[in-house]
Amino acid sequence: MHTIGETAEMLGISAHTLRYYEKEQIITPARDASGDRRYNDSHIQWLQFVIKLKETQMPIVTIKKYAALFLEGDHTTLDRLSLLEEHRLSIQNQIETLKTVDEMLEHKIEFYKEFIVKQK
């Protein structure tokens, strides 16, 4: 079991973020006899997934919905699958946009490099 500080450091996020996730019911850490939060390996794995979802622009409200569906049980499997497939499509669109922008930037960079060489 890990403290909130240890968990935050392991994940590269702040303790404030962990408290926020708890407030939003995205995670429910265990509590020790003193009432301090404790995170186990399962919590860490879940939080790693949540962080990746956030990094790929999934809104907190959607992550919260996914977490609630998970807690409801196996009868929500189709809903969770649908939510993740929708997000995957969004990521694939992001990738295509990034590829297009990268190509545009490459052309601009080459143009400027050639222009600078010609000026010398």
Beta bridge partners of 2: 39
Exposure string of 37-76, with b = 16+ CB inside 10 Å and e = fewer, is: bebeeebeebbeebbebeeeebeeeebeebbebeeeeeee
Residue 119 predicted with pLDDT over 90: no
The pTM of this model reads 0.79
| Top-level class of domain 4-119 | mainly alpha
Q: How far apart are CA 86 and CA 71, in angstroms?
A: 20
Residue 120 predicted with pLDDT over 80: no
Q: How far apart are CA 78 and CA 69, in angstroms?
A: 10
> Rounded mean pLDDT of 82-91?
96
